[in-house]
Structure 1
């Protein structure tokens, strides 16, 4: 018996020792060792997963598959909606349309940083300002909206209108910079309040500039761009050989997980998927039915007991009827309405039908080419890269090298600002022997390029037959030329050709959703229309989106009982 007890005690002691060694080795290895090499990388702890946080104003939209372009009616006979199965990656989208208050914040920042009184910057503020004259009508009195809609506090939370596609895109870029600037300040990588007190035309923040060349951010001001959190990094000491080795990784990087992806316009597929919100119709692994509107049912009025009969969107109900009879049954608005006045859809997004139609990122083509791609579909890719100067470093835009676009109405919109990295199209260095893309401009791929037109001779290799002649392009739209002379006067050269057959070209963009000016027909999320990217109206606004990085879902999934 004694012998058995001794053996048992020895076994227990040896097992405890093994467990102790194992836990010690686990502890020591989990602190800093790389799972790839076992090395202690820079004395840092092993990398841990970090979830992306939603940016200001954004709502998470979990991606999935859906039928794009499935409309219940086609009374216009556009034949531009062929149902296709598409998959959309998870992303974030603005809870509401961009409001007048949000856009005025942008304008005030531009006016402060780039004073319109200075010759170099005179076009920046004016080029970003919405066109308030879109409210005017030859046979209607709308001067109240012309004078008040953008700036009066009564309209502060109404969706901004009079903004063209280019202006909406530039607002999205500006929003990216301001959000990331605030995140870096909060994390201690930028001097506190520098974004308001120290900012100027020669001293601004750009996310890409910070990531590629931090010392050039804010004009190279080291008092603003801090080394390490709150500038806590000490100056490196000299080694035994007397040399001072500069410390690495003292600035925030993409791997820090602080900076967010860019704000941008949603793609058409993303917008339609988010508006339809078929997730609310899901039964196990199928959709119970395609919804006609962003809400359930085939009617525009609520069927719920508490709100029965209330209109679920702001739209034109009939000829001369923009809101209904005053009182009960009125939709609450004659023009646009304050955001969040109507119920959100199953993704938590407001006004995905009615109020204002919305710009999306895509260049318009009559057909969605799902044979070309059925994952994150988008037409409009223009691939660029950072411009490298003669010194081998990235080239920063200055007030002398700013670039701008002259719109069809003669208005000048600045597209690159001081402090940003200059961009150039990708070349054969990036495209050589690639199968996924072969040039910078992919707008016309499979629909609009030379190979798509009926005049292209596939059997003839001579260049003369492959050259596009006037009238033989895929989309033979008018080619106007509007410029400004040295005195700032508009020089207009209109296309007088009688051979033009379409208005579709590379500068028309898709807009989605119905507006306060539209009948219920256009409230169907699958309906699509197009408009020139440099023109604005009183019924098109926009909202921003942001790509999701990391896992597809926010929460762990569990099976339904």
Structure 2
């Protein structure tokens, strides 16, 4: 009886709270105007801390010494000078991008643009990276990418530029699927035959996140029945309520997938979170695991090598009958033990592209908060400045131009600049003669491109890769080591994984930790 009374009281209390909240709608703290009321039009969206996109795990940010895990510099390059930095929390792929992941990408291209052979060809990895003049590697040339035996192995032969295109494609497909699942946009393949034709015809240009957010992916055959209510809009003909597409404020769409920065990658690989207590790092690391060696100390796996790498010249896996790292070339992306962030193979298997442009002294030059080298800021070109519509290419992506200003332009400057961009060459641009240098590389770290390949291999097209590979010695497994390759080159030892910005509070696991009490708004 006592239990029944308690439960009844809780139910009544909940109902009372609900009725109270209904009778007293939330209001603006600064104007007193009620939110989500048609009479006033003010909207307040449910505050969320969105989950990571598919395939990602959360990396809680913090401070660490960039380059601090390196205990030697065998090349005497002096290119990883120690510097304390802070990394904001972010998301990162649990594994390297696999062959199956890349085949998904290729299949989508062939199905969406069946006649565009150039697009498909440009997306193909260079399988010839396996060829060696004095090696019998042709079986990998023919089979590594497509044979199902290798489907969960990391994709290789991918350039930095191709990785950028994949990140854009993955962003759009992820957000498109989210909107289709909530019936905010129509999935043409899921429609009945007649409706399918209408939807497919309406969606001739594939979904793009930027275009959708700019209200340029709309109309019959696209808009679904799950669209959001629009407090400030007017109902369409034959409809009883006004609706709108999803916007950033809804918290539905994911931020863009991208390559991790070099600093993010190194921080995630070291994963000091497992060695931290009360803001003290108890043990440093040389590798993504604890200890000074590369072998497991656990009883069941004692002596096994903890990553896929080359122990010495001519020794890729140990002796037949007892292969130590179980891999002659690459290994499946979920092989070995993940680090304390839950990331697999942050050492060995394949090196991984990062977002940064290579410079020897980057560690000294970049900021100590979220360090990154390679900013090339762009603006989306407007096809119609008066309406704010973006210009797009034949694949439905917004066209981007180098940024013209380091601060927000006046509206008059914006309109004039965009009109000049879209008009004849004689049109006057108000910002002409005021070039905006988006990065210090141009002014303080100039590279003479005419000497590239003659006296230097470093240019603005040189991109960093890290982590060591199946064909590298143990030295390169250290997260602080860094090498570079041209952005349009590829290798059988280089793959990649994606990252994503984390929005909202940076603390990943707040439970059990002390916090100041925060007064809730009435």
Identify the residue that residue 278 of structure 1 maps to in structure 2: 272
Identify the residue that residue 375 of structure 1 maps to in structure 2: 369
Identify the residue that residue 471 of structure 1 maps to in structure 2: none
Distance in 2 separating the partners of 1:246 and 1:265 = 45
Give runs of ≥4 in structure 1 deviating > 4 Å.
22-26, 193-201, 230-233, 235-238, 243-249, 369-372, 438-441, 477-480
The one of 292, 295, 301 equivalent to 2:295 is 301
- Residue aligned with 1:181, SS: helix
CA deviation vs aligned residue, 1:432-490 (integer Å, no higher than 9, x gap): 79xxxx965534x1xx433x36xxxxxxxxxxxxxxxxxxxx4345467xxxxxxxxxx
Measured after TM superposition, the shift of residue 188 of structure 1 is 1.9
Identify the residue that residue 529 of structure 1 maps to in structure 2: 483
The one of 156, 167, 171 equivalent to 1:176 is 171
Identify the residue that residue 78 of structure 1 maps to in structure 2: 77
The one of 223, 240, 253 equivalent to 1:259 is 253
C-alpha change, 1:508 and 1:179, in structure 2 (3 Å) is same
Q: Does 1:426 align with 2:403?
A: yes
C-alpha change, 1:123 and 1:246, in structure 2 (3 Å) is farther
Contact 2:235 2:243 in 1 (8 A): no
Q: Does 1:320 align with 2:314?
A: yes
Measured after TM superposition, the shift of residue 46 of structure 1 is 5.0
Contact 1:32 1:43 in 2 (8 A): no
The one of 104, 112, 117 equivalent to 1:122 is 117
Contact 1:357 1:513 in 2 (8 A): yes
Q: Does 1:354 align with 2:348?
A: yes
Task: Name the TM-score, length of structure 1 as normaliser.
Answer: 0.76
C-alpha change, 1:253 and 1:227, in structure 2 (3 Å) is farther
Residue segments in structure 2 that go unaligned for 5+ positions in a row: 1-15, 411-433, 515-522
Identify the residue that residue 511 of structure 1 maps to in structure 2: 465
- Residue aligned with 2:92, SS: strand
Q: Does 1:344 align with 2:321?
A: no
Alignment of 1:225-264 (within 5 A): 225-226=223-224, 228-229=226-227, 236=234, 250-264=244-258
Measured after TM superposition, the shift of residue 555 of structure 1 is 2.7
CA deviation vs aligned residue, 1:338-363 (integer Å, no higher than 9, x gap): 11110000000001000000000000
Measured after TM superposition, the shift of residue 229 of structure 1 is 3.0
Alignment of 1:154-193 (within 5 A): 154-193=149-188
Measured after TM superposition, the shift of residue 52 of structure 1 is 1.0
Identify the residue that residue 449 of structure 1 maps to in structure 2: 442
Contact 1:204 1:419 in 2 (8 A): yes
Measured after TM superposition, the shift of residue 122 of structure 1 is 2.7
Identify the residue that residue 56 of structure 2 maps to in structure 1: 58
Contact 1:274 1:347 in 2 (8 A): yes
Contact 1:180 1:207 in 2 (8 A): yes
Comparing 164-173 with 385-394, greater Cα deviation is found at 385-394
CA deviation vs aligned residue, 1:177-206 (integer Å, no higher than 9, x gap): 000001111122011455896558833101
Identify the residue that residue 9 of structure 1 maps to in structure 2: none
The alignment of Structure 1 onto Structure 2 pairs a total of residues equal to 463
Distance in 1 separating the partners of 2:437 and 2:124 = 29
C-alpha change, 1:278 and 1:555, in structure 2 (3 Å) is closer
Measured after TM superposition, the shift of residue 396 of structure 1 is 3.5
Measured after TM superposition, the shift of residue 329 of structure 1 is 5.5
- Residue aligned with 2:362, SS: coil
- Residue aligned with 2:319, SS: coil
Measured after TM superposition, the shift of residue 429 of structure 1 is 7.6
Identify the residue that residue 459 of structure 1 maps to in structure 2: none
C-alpha change, 1:477 and 1:236, in structure 2 (3 Å) is closer
C-alpha change, 1:510 and 1:391, in structure 2 (3 Å) is closer
Distance in 2 separating the partners of 1:175 and 1:325 = 40
The one of 531, 548, 551 equivalent to 2:502 is 548
Task: Name the TM-score, length of structure 2 as normaliser.
Answer: 0.82
Identify the residue that residue 447 of structure 2 maps to in structure 1: 475
Measured after TM superposition, the shift of residue 554 of structure 1 is 2.5
Alignment of 1:24-43 (within 5 A): 27-28=21-22, 31-43=25-37
- Residue aligned with 1:538, SS: coil
Alignment of 1:134-145 (within 5 A): 134-145=129-140
C-alpha change, 1:338 and 1:169, in structure 2 (3 Å) is same
